[in-house]
Structure formats: structure tokens, C-alpha cells
Amino acid sequence: MTGKNNPIGLFDSGVGGLTVAHAISAILPDEQLLYYGDTAHLPYGDKSKETIVRYSKGIADFLLENSCKVILIACNSASANAFTEVKEHVGDRAVVLNVLDPVIDYVARQSDAKNIGVIGTKATIESNSYHDGILKLNPNLSVSSLATPLFVPMIEEGFVFDDISNAIIRAYLSGQELSDIDTLILGCTHYPIIRNQISRFFNFEVNVLDTARIVAEYLQGYLRDHNMLAQERAGENRFYVSDHTTSFGTIANMFFNEKINLQKRSVW
């Protein structure tokens, strides 16, 4: 097993996992992060399970080569479709975590949550991971799911906080599927970027969960419980992409106060 001061590796199809990386940096400032955005293959949400598994294993190998102590699949589509395969592939070389289980556990324990809505990519929604996971832990809850596949390319193209994004948000969320919810799970790590717009659509009457924060707090507890917290910062955070995109650098710099030095790296 790698050392306590080794980096935490995260990966996503694009910028979405930066919401999780930012939340981790806020509560675990001593941890060095190594982020990989597979921008050449985004979005994962419309890919087959076999393709998502292949991409995820390749990135996991890259993170292992960089001595990551934890590999956090910071992508709901990959978490829903490739977590078991990546965990078996990595073995005891690193801890493998996903972004689904912490949120499922959190929601199932909330006393004020009755009618849960879930939005995400097609791959995540069709996997039924949130629906089945929540009802397994708390069968008294009601769970409604809705695929919102245009959100990821919209965000990746930089259409946020404008009339275009508001129109797309309104078109999806006006559906009957989410008409009676009191809690909403953002089942894609891209979606916290538009969390305020989503909350505004519901007139702030729905608890739109800060899923990135929930995942970061889960990771903090895991590292503490397993005596894996870094004793000192080993170096600067590192950011890799499989293909350079303008929006990635813009959004990355929006989340992190430090200058983001993007490195292009193909891992296949």
C-alpha cells in the first residue's frame, strides 16, 4: 500500500469532477490531488458499459503509475458502470472509491427527506444505481429519476449562468417526474456547477444536495478511519486532460485559486 502523503487520484470525463476536487481541497488542504479529465471521450453518459470500463481502467493505471493512494471515480457514469471492474483491476495497489455510495448513504439517513429526485446522464439513470441503492437502505422513501443528458455538453461548452442554460434547465425540470420532490440528488459531478440555477428553478423549496461536499466529507472520514490522512502536503495539485479544451482551463481556474497548469496526457 502507498504512503499517507501520496496523492489522491480523481477522474471524470471532463470538468465535472473538479467540483469534487474543490470540495476535497477545502476540507483536506494537506492532501495533494492528481486529477484526470478524459475530455477526448466526454461525455461518458452516452457510452456503453464496456467502453466506460475500458476508459476507466486505463485512467486507473495512469493514477497507479503516479502512486496515488486513493482512486476516486469522480464521475457518476463511471461509478455506476465501472466501479466493480476498476476495484478488481486495482486490487490492493490503492483504495478505490466512487461518488454514488456516499450520497446514497447520506440520503437514506435524512429524516426530512421523503420524495427524492435524481437527475443524471443516461448511463447513470439507466443503471438504477441511485434508485435501487436508496430503496435498499430505506424502502420508505420515494425515488424518481430523470435523465438530463444535455447538461454535461452544455457545461463543457461553457453555457452556464445564461439564457441558454436556464432554458435547458427549465425544459428538463418542468417534467412530471420531479413535480413532487422535496430533495434532489445531482447525479453527475458536472451538475453542482449549475446547482444555484437548479435551486432557483424550484424557488429554493427543494433541498438540492451539495453532493460534492457529501463525497468530500465521506473521503475525509474514510482516510481518518483508516489512518491514511496526509501528514504534510507532498506537492502542488496536478491536472491532466486527454485533450485540451478551452472551457476546462476556464472552469478549473474558477474553482482553484492556484494557477492551473494543464498537462495533456493520453493513457491508452
Within-domain flag for 1: no
Residues 175 and 229 in one domain: no
Q: Is 68 a catalytic residue?
A: no
Catalytic residue among 10, 42, 75, 181: 75
Sheet strand arrangement including 142-147:
142-147, 115-120, 183-187, 207-208
Please write the tens of the pLDDT for every residue from 223-244: 999 999 999 888 999 999 999 8
Instruction: For residues 108 and 116, give the distance between their C-alpha atoms in angstroms, rounded to a whole number.
Output: 10
Overall number of domains in the chain: 2
Catalytic residue among 10, 28, 113, 188: 188
* 108-112, 161-165, 181-185, 252-256: range with highest mean pLDDT: 181-185
Q: Which residue has the higher pLDDT, 267 or 249?
A: 267
Alpha helices, DSSP H only, in the chain?
18-27, 49-65, 76-90, 101-108, 122-127, 129-137, 151-156, 163-173, 195-201, 211-225, 246-255
Within-domain flag for 3: no
What pLDDT was estimated at residue 234?
A: 85
Please write the tens of the pLDDT for every residue from 99-149: 999 999 999 999 899 999 999 999 999 999 999 999 999 999 999 999 999
Residues 207 and 232 in one domain: no
Question: What integer best gives the mean pLDDT of the chain?
Answer: 94
Collapse the DSSP code of 97 into the 3-class scheme (helix H, G, I; strand E, B; otherwise coil) and give the result: strand
Confidence of residue 250 (pLDDT cuts 50, 70, 90): confident
Residue 149: give its domain's CATH number: 3.40.50.1860
Residues 44 and 136 in one domain: no
What pLDDT was estimated at residue 1?
A: 47
Q: Which residue has the higher pLDDT, 118 or 260?
A: 118
Residue 87 contacts residue 114 (beta carbons within 8 Å):
no
Confidence of residue 158 (pLDDT cuts 50, 70, 90): confident
Locus of grid cell 483536506: 28
What pLDDT was estimated at residue 262?
A: 86
Q: What is the pLDDT averaged over residues 171-195?
A: 94
Residues 232 and 176 in one domain: no
Residues 177 and 148 in one domain: yes
Instruction: For residues 74 and 82, give the distance between their C-alpha atoms in angstroms, rounded to a whole number.
Output: 12
Among 47-56, 151-160, 235-244, which stretch is predicted with the lowest mean pLDDT?
151-160
Residues 172 and 130 in one domain: yes
The whole domain housing 227 covers 8-98+213-264
Residues 139 and 69 in one domain: no
Residues 189 and 231 in one domain: no
The 3-class secondary structure across 245-265, one letter per residue, is CHHHHHHHHHHCCCCCCEEEC
Single pTM value for the model: 0.93
Residues 105 and 144 in one domain: yes
The distance from CA 83 to its chain's CA centroid, rounded to whole angstroms, is 13
